[in-house]
A and B are shown apart, each in its own frame.
Chain A
């Protein structure tokens, strides 16, 4: 049976994390599901959750006045949403909308911060994963900015 612990252990973002650390995360975690079209987060809302997506697909959007939303990235299983949960002022910078039925593990930001403060080894493990994901994200963003196919 799929439990929060097994889903966390199988998620690429947490690959290799010690069982004791996973157990600490379980305390902050809950399973959530979003219907197509439902928003996981909206710009400027308080960022209280950090999502580990394990099923479905999410469109990350920027809303442009008079022109509507533009999708700048899609996230599918194995990806994370909510990069800046450890940075004040804990607000979302983008909209994220489920494109299909999407399931994720939601981790409470305040709970995560507390656990990381109490257990620096866990905090370091999470920061290493963040650094890696940020590096990948930067590389991807640079490629997108290049407008490679523009001719």
Chain B
């Protein structure tokens, strides 16, 4: 499932107004945007990204983190790590940002119907997975068991805390949160996400895994899932590279025979095998 570009001029950003900014962690913010011209935003598929433009500063690829069915707002979660992302995170309600998109491939949520799902997110990696989770929960009866494993550095670094608590309260969605270190007031798991995989319930022959997080985390999660019998073609990862045009033209995000912006960012692991953990690229 993927959605095509919203405009005939794919290199031309459309002006969007910042409606709301919510601080998630010390350096991560969620922005709700609406089209400056009014009306609806474009449709997108879970896992796709937009190019967000801070006028006069620059443009960066940011995954869409809102619900795919919502047509009134576009939601992005951004970590302020560089000039452009810092400018985006500083934007106040009423200010304008440029948006191009949606770009790239999406999580195979429709094709995964009937399967168990293991969703593994690390750090900011929960943001691109959130639209998929919304979709899965909206169509809950179509899937088997669904497990979310979410890892972060410390409890303070967890995104969407209130939403995580709501999800944990559901009987049809198992949520495992783990952090690398915590104080004595933390009641949850401490340890790496790979530790949790063995505690989840899934039928390996009929399981689709969706993984997004730091490269090294994804690498070890893939190994663990393969060890548990999940097929390589059913393991999906979301890749991050230096994306510029979003159209597969500039070549900045090339990884072997693929362009991450156009052929990805979501790939079945068997397609990237051999390139995924290649040290030279």
Residues in A lying within 8 Å of B, measured CB to CB: 57, 59-61, 68-74, 76, 97, 99, 139-140, 143-144, 146-151
Starting from the known contacts A69-B183, A149-B152, 19 additional A-B residue pairs (CB-CB under 8 Å) come to A69-B184, A70-B182, A70-B183, A71-B181, A71-B182, A71-B186, A72-B181, A74-B191, A76-B189, A99-B187, A140-B194, A144-B192, A147-B153, A148-B213, A149-B124, A149-B153, A149-B157, A149-B213, A149-B214
User: Counting CB contacts under 8 A, is B122 at the interface?
Assistant: yes
- Distance in Å: Cβ of B164 to nearest Cβ of chain A: 16
The answer to whether B214 touches A68, judged by C-beta atoms less than 8 angstroms apart, is no
Q: What residues of B have a CB within 8 angstroms of the CB of A150 in the complex?
A: 153
B249 close to chain A: CB less than 8 A: no
Contact with A along B196-231 (1 / 0, CB 8 A): 000100000000000001101100100000000000
B151 contacts A by Cβ under 8 Å? yes
CB distance from B163 to the nearest CB of A (A): 18
* 10 nearest A-B pairs in the assembled complex, by CB-CB distance: A149-B123, A149-B153, A148-B214, A74-B190, A71-B190, A143-B192, A71-B182, A69-B184, A74-B189, A148-B217
Q: Once the chains bind, are A73 and B214 in contact (CB under 8 Å)?
A: no
Please measure, in the bound complex, the distance between the C-alpha atom of A76 and the C-alpha atom of B180, giving whole angstroms: 16
Tell me the smallest distance from the CB of A60 to a CB of chain B, in Å. Answer: 8
B11 at the interface (CB under 8 A from A): no
Nearest A residue to B215 via CB reads: A148
- Tell me how many residue pairs across A and B have CB atoms closer than 8 Å: 71
Whether a CB of chain A sits under 8 angstroms from the CB of B195 is: yes
Chain B positions 137-151 with a Cβ under 8 Å from a chain A Cβ: 151
Residues of A within 8 A of B194 (CB): 140, 143
Main secondary structure of the interface of B (DSSP, over half): mixed
On chain A, the residues within 8 Å of B213 by CB distance are 148-149
Residues on the B chain within 8 Å of A147, using CB: 153, 180
Cβ-based interface call for B79 (8 A): yes
> In the complex, are the beta carbons of A59 and B79 less than 8 A apart?
no
Given the complex of chains A and B, what is the CA–CA distance between A68 and B183 in angstroms? 8
Bound form: Cα–Cα A108–B124 in Å: 45
Contacts of A149 in B (CB 8 A): 122-124, 151-153, 157, 180, 213-214, 217
Q: Which residues of B contact A68 (CB under 8 A)?
A: 183-184
* B1 on interface, CB distance cutoff 8 Å: no
Q: How far apart are the CA atoms of A147 and B213 in the complex, in Å?
A: 12
* Neighbour of A73 across the interface among B151, B191, B199, B220, CB < 8 A: B191
Q: List 8 A-B contacts (CB under 8 A).
A: A60-B190, A69-B183, A71-B184, A71-B190, A73-B190, A76-B189, A148-B122, A149-B153
